[in-house]
Structures are given as structure tokens and as C-alpha cells.
């Protein structure tokens, strides 16, 4: 039981460190950018690797599907199609799997939600570069020291340093749920 109790104590400690006025303001700023894009008829594209891909998919499906109540579908898509990922990975390399999607479907006024627990994933950095090249704003969810993507985002929301990625992902999913709820309150 000590092991289980320790997991919850660690998670609470990280959440307590994250729960600052500054971070709440960053989440609201990101929510305003995302909401405005949707109200302007644009879309949100999300991406991440591994567990962060699952978070990117969860974010998009809650917006295009349903979160807490019935409402219109919102334009959000995660870069997660296995055909696309394996085709681009095979033909161009894994570092291009997200940027090729942004190049093909991203338009000025859209928003990219880029999720990387390290902030150093090459395919995320390339997606951000592609997004910036066409006028897409970037919201970054990071961890550790923010990595290379920290300075590339319009808004970077960073989980407190943790030795393990799962603690960062726990903050990311709370941020994602907060963003979805905020977007619904603004757009619907």
C-alpha cells in the first residue's frame, strides 16, 4: 500500500507546484487563442508521441465529439492516422510525420497543439516550424525545462520538472481538460 500511496502523494505534489496564477493565466491565454480560431472558422490540429499522442487524440475527440454536454461539433483533429504516419515515416523519415500533415492541411488561422514531455521531439519541432511558416499559432505542452520547443510556441504551458514522464502527462491531461471546458464556455 505504501507504493500506491506514494504515487498519489507525488502526483498531488506536482499538481500543487503547477497550480499557480501564472499557469492559470497561460491556460486561459491558450484557451482564448484556440477559441478564437474556432469562432473564426478555423481548426485545431494536435500532435504528440506515445502517451502524448493519446493526449492529442483525446483533446481532438472531446472537441469534435462531446465533453460534458451536447453541443455542436468543433473542428479539431489529431495527427494520428496510421496510414499517414507509416507512409511519411517510410518515405521521409519519422521526423517529418507531423510536419507533412501540417503542410498538407494546415491553413493560416489554424492552431497547432504540440505536446512533448521533453520539449525536444524532432517531429514536434518540425511540425511547429511548418505551422509558423503558414501563420498557424502554436500552443505547446511541455515538461522538464521546456526543451527546444519552449521558445517556438506562442504559448508554452510547462509541467513542473519531474523525473518521470507520467507526472508530466498527468499535468498535461488536466490542462487539456481545462482547455476543453474553457473552449466550450467561450465557443458554444
DSSP string, 132-149: HHTT-EEEEEE-TT-GGG
Indicate the SS3 state at residue 109.
Answer: coil
Q: Does residue 30 contact residue 179 with C-beta atoms inside 8 Å?
A: yes
Please state, in angstroms and rounded to a whole number, the distance separating the CA atoms of residues 142 and 148.
Answer: 10
* Tens of pLDDT, residues 118-154: 999 999 999 999 999 999 999 999 999 999 999 999 9
d(CA 116, CA 124): 7
> With pLDDT > 90 as the criterion, what percentage of the chain qualifies?
97
Second-level CATH architecture of 25-187 = 3-Layer(aba) Sandwich (3.40)
Total number of residues shown for the chain = 188
Per-residue pLDDT tens, the chain, 188 aa: give them. Answer: 899 999 999 999 999 999 999 999 999 999 999 999 999 999 999 999 999 999 999 999 999 999 998 999 999 999 999 999 999 999 999 999 999 999 999 999 999 999 999 999 999 999 999 999 999 999 999 999 999 999 999 999 999 998 889 999 999 999 999 999 999 999 99
Q: CA dihedral in degrees (68, 136, 169, 54; nearest 10)?
A: 70
CB 171 within 8 A of CB 160: yes
Q: Fill in the DSSP letter of residue 127.
A: H
Amino acid at each position: 500500500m505504501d507504493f500506491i500511496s506514494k504515487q498519489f502523494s507525488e502526483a498531488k505534489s506536482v499538481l500543487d507546484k503547477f497550480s499557480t496564477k501564472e499557469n492559470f493565466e497561460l491556460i486561459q491565454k491558450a484557451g482564448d487563442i484556440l477559441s478564437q480560431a474556432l469562432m473564426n472558422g478555423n481548426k485545431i490540429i494536435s500532435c504528440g508521441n506515445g502517451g502524448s499522442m493519446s493526449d492529442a487524440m483525446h483533446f481532438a475527440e472531446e472537441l469534435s465529439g462531446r465533453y460534458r454536454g451536447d453541443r455542436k461539433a468543433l473542428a479539431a483533429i489529431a495527427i494520428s492516422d496510421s496510414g499517414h504516419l507509416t507512409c511519411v515515416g517510410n518515405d521521409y523519415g519519422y521526423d517529418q510525420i507531423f510536419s507533412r500533415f501540417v503542410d498538407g492541411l494546415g491553413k493560416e488561422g489554424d492552431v497547432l497543439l504540440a505536446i512533448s514531455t521533453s520539449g525536444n521531439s524532432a517531429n514536434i519541432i518540425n511540425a511547429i516550424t511548418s505551422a509558423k511558416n503558414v501563420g498557424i499559432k502554436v500552443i505547446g505542452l511541455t515538461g522538464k525545462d521546456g526543451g527546444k520547443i519552449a521558445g517556438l510556441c506562442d504559448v508554452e504551458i510547462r509541467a513542473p520538472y519531474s523525473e518521470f514522464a507520467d507526472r508530466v502527462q498527468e499535468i498535461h491531461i488536466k490542462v487539456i481538460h481545462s482547455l476543453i471546458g474553457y473552449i466550450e464556455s467561450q465557443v458554444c
